[in-house]
Amino acid sequence: DLQRFDYEKYTVRMNTFRRNEQLIISLNHHAKCTSVAQIQVIWCDLENEPPMEVLHHPSGKVVVEKHHRNSLNERFVIMSPTPTIGIFSMDDDVLRPCQALDSAFFQWTRN
């Protein structure tokens, strides 16, 4: 059974690789979207640790998944349970307006 929360909030899964500045810009932007419950960062960089600004993002919405394989397909390997049924998958260089994400999500929940 879907809960009311499942019709109001969604999770963003964000793929990234060695574009820390762009990642932080994207996190800062998408964390401001009120319908985003959580942002899961898929970290596949085996040689570097995520920046502190990502690990301790002030929004409280960011979770970092450290994957042990460097593959674009890791975006589909969910290590952290998502708090929502709805999940958007995007790359760190994509900035979508909150209204556009919300519109797509609410359209999806109606079907």
Q: What's the pLDDT at 59?
A: 97
Choice among 14-18, 66-70, 71-75 with the minimum mean pLDDT = 71-75
Q: What's the pLDDT at 89?
A: 92
Q: Indicate whether 2 pLDDT > 70.
A: no
Q: What's the pLDDT at 3?
A: 76
pTM of the model: 0.90
On the 0-12 / 13-18 / 19+ scale of CB atoms within 10 A, 49 is: exposed
Structure confidence by residue, pLDDT tens digits, 40-56: 999 999 899 999 999 99
Tell me the β-bridge partners of 90: 14
Residue 13's closest CA among 69, 68, 91, 83?
91
